[in-house]
Amino acid sequence: MPNWCYTDYRFYADTEVGKQKLKSFYDELEKSLKPRKRFIVTDFEDTWLGNVLLHFVPQLLKLSQEDVYCEYKNERIRFRGSVIYLAYDEDCHVISVQTETAWEPMEAVWAMILAECKYSDIKFVYLAEEPSMGVYINTDSEGNFFAEKYRTEVKVSDDFYDYDIQYFETEQEVLAYLNEVIYNLRTEYKTNPNKYLLPKDFNPARIRKQRTVAGALHLIQNNLFDDGFVCIDEFTSG
């Protein structure tokens, strides 16, 4: 069983020609997810990425339900996964696609389709997460669709479900958030000191003095009890 990588794509175009092609591309995407001739039934049901490829580039592929990759221009294109969301914003001329794939984003599938189907005017960016493998990718360098630069996951309570995941654009926002988390706990220590996984006398002002996320993370982790954790991950450009 693989770890699943969740990837959120935005397809867009800068030219009028490209914007016109977006609607055609979306219509074909919808068709690719419906049963038809050459449709292969897999554990991914109707939304297998292999079936998407078979719809757009059938002349290049001979697939079976056991296949997880194909060769294309000396590159191995992996497609073990499925489309879990598809939408088109006609006003903004943007297609949203979300996928669930094994271990990593499989953006080469989309690059192959755009290249082979004369959709060269269409571009895409994506945000991908697979925490177990430490995969955090944001290719939207200008932040037009995905502004996230940092992901935090914090657990400072002994309650199994009491953890918090947040996204931030800057280091300063991360530091402010961590400071707020610890500060808010100080009053709660007084009524239930055994619930929390930081020393009762931990001073949040110490976080405020840190100038980097790495410094704040080091400080908190050195004070957390064994069952607590603070994870800060920075999105890369891929």
Q: What mean pLDDT is predicted for residues 46-75?
A: 78
What is the C-alpha to C-alpha distance for residues 63 and 53, in angstroms, rounded to an integer? 10
Residues 15 and 133 in one domain: yes
Residues 125 and 157 in one domain: no
Q: What mean pLDDT is predicted for residues 32-60?
A: 78
pLDDT score of 55 more than 60: yes
Which comes out higher in pLDDT, residue 39 or 169?
169
Long-range contacts of 119-122 (CB under 8 A, 24+ apart): 119/21, 119/25, 121/13, 121/14, 121/15, 121/17, 121/18, 121/21, 122/11, 122/12, 122/13, 122/18, 122/21, 122/22, 122/25
pLDDT score of 182 more than 90: no
Candidates 85, 113, 73, 116; CA nearest to 10 is 85
pLDDT of residue 44: 66
Phi, psi of 74 (to 5 degrees): 65, 20
According to DSSP, residue 92 is labeled T
pLDDT of residue 218: 78
For the chain, how many structural domains are there in total?
2
Specify if 88 maps to a domain.
yes
Residues 165 and 221 in one domain: yes
pLDDT of residue 79: 87
Residues 93 and 171 in one domain: no
Q: Which of 8-22, 60-74, 224-238 has the lowest mean pLDDT?
A: 60-74
Q: What percent of the chain has pLDDT over 70?
A: 78
Tokens found for residue 68: 């997880």
Residues 102 and 220 in one domain: no
pLDDT of residue 190: 59
Neighbours of 195 (CB within 10 A): 14
pTM attached to this predicted model: 0.83
Residues 68 and 120 in one domain: yes
**Do the Cβ atoms of 213 and 150 come closer than 8 Å?**
yes
Specify if 29 maps to a domain.
yes
Specify if 145 maps to a domain.
no
- Annotate 87-99 with b (16+ C-beta within 10 A) or e (fewer): ebeeeebbbebbb
Tell me the per-residue pLDDT of 151-174, one tens digit each, with 9 for 90 and over. Answer: 998 876 666 556 789 999 999 999
Helix residue ranges per DSSP H, 33-61: 49-56
pLDDT of residue 238: 80
Residues 15 and 52 in one domain: yes
Residues 49 and 118 in one domain: yes
What is the C-alpha to C-alpha distance for residues 57 and 53, in angstroms, rounded to an integer? 6
Specify if 133 maps to a domain.
yes
Q: What mean pLDDT is predicted for residues 165-187?
A: 83
pLDDT score of 87 more than 90: yes
Tell me the per-residue pLDDT of 108-148, one tens digit each, with 9 for 90 and over. Answer: 999 999 999 989 999 999 999 999 889 999 999 999 999 99
**SS3 at position 64:** coil
Specify if 227 maps to a domain.
yes
Residues 157 and 122 in one domain: no
Specify if 143 maps to a domain.
no
Residues 124 and 104 in one domain: yes
Residues forming a β-bridge with 36: none
Q: What mean pLDDT is predicted for residues 194-208?
A: 65
**Do the Cβ atoms of 68 and 98 come closer than 8 Å?**
no
Residues 102 and 14 in one domain: yes
Which comes out higher in pLDDT, residue 158 or 235?
235
Residues 12 and 110 in one domain: yes
Task: Answer with the one of 114, 138, 162 that is the final residue of a domain.
Answer: 138
Which comes out higher in pLDDT, residue 159 or 234?
234
Residues forming a β-bridge with 167: 151
pLDDT of residue 147: 96
Identify the domain containing residue 181 by its residue range: 150-234
What type of residue sits at position 4? W
Rg (CA), the chain: 22
